[in-house]
């Protein structure tokens, strides 16, 4: 009986340690966010010899926008995120060596809105009201939360109409880099 109990506990532990499944074609935003935060998101474009080239962006659609906006309140610093493969620049603002999760999720929403899958070349925001010498340092977490509210209002007001045609940042000084 003791041996059976031990085996059951061992099996349950192994199941609990298994990596959470993620389907890049039918993504779950909560699983994506969890994997980004714990550093286990590892869906790569592969090279000719099977080497990892860059992280792939999941196939997010209109149906994911609300969840992406909801999770954008999380300003956790993350080390990896699927970036635009055609960009040849560093993916972070000057002076920063990490991504901010909420900013990246809003960038993902922008990629759905613009139809390209990526919000811009690089997943960070700048404030064009600032002097050119400092605007490329990107936004602070509190400003990203403000932009998140802008996207939330945009979505709440337009989700049933012309949401693709209205740039949420059009009336602001914020822009995707």
- Residue 2's pLDDT is 52
- Residue 129's pLDDT is 97
- Residue 60's pLDDT is 98
Note down the domain range covering 17. Answer: 2-176
Give the pair of three-digit tokens for residue 62. 């209109």
**Angle, CA 107 vertex, CA 53 and CA 137 arms, to 5°:** 90
Q: Where are the beta strands (DSSP E) in 67-156?
A: 77-78, 99-100, 125-127
- Residue 36's pLDDT is 98
The mean pLDDT values, 10 residues at a time, for the chain of 177 residues are 46 50 96 98 96 97 98 98 94 95 98 97 97 94 98 97 97 97
Number of domains in the chain: 1
Distance CA 5, CA 20 (A): 25
Is residue 9 within 8 A of residue 1, CB to CB? The reply is: no
């Amino acid at each position: 009986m003791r041996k059976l109990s031990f085996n059951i506990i061992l099996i349950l532990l192994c199941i609990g340690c298994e990596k959470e499944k993620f389907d890049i074609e039918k993504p779950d935003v909560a699983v994506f966010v969890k994997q980004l935060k714990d550093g286990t998101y590892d869906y790569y474009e592969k090279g000719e010899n099977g080497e990892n080239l860059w992280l792939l962006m999941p196939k997010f659609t209109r149906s994911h926008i609300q969840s992406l906006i909801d999770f954008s309140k999380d300003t956790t610093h993350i080390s990896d995120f699927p970036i635009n493969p055609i960009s040849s620049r560093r993916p972070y603002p000057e002076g920063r060596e990490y991504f901010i999760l909420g900013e990246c999720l809003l960038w993902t929403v922008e990629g759905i809105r613009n139809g390209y899958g990526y919000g811009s070349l690089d997943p960070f925001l700048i404030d064009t009201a600032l002097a050119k010498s400092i605007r490329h340092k990107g936004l602070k977490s509190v400003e990203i939360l403000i932009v998140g509210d802008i996207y939330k209002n945009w979505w709440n007001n337009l989700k049933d109409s012309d949401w693709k045609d209205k740039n949420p940042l059009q009336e602001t000084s914020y822009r995707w880099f």
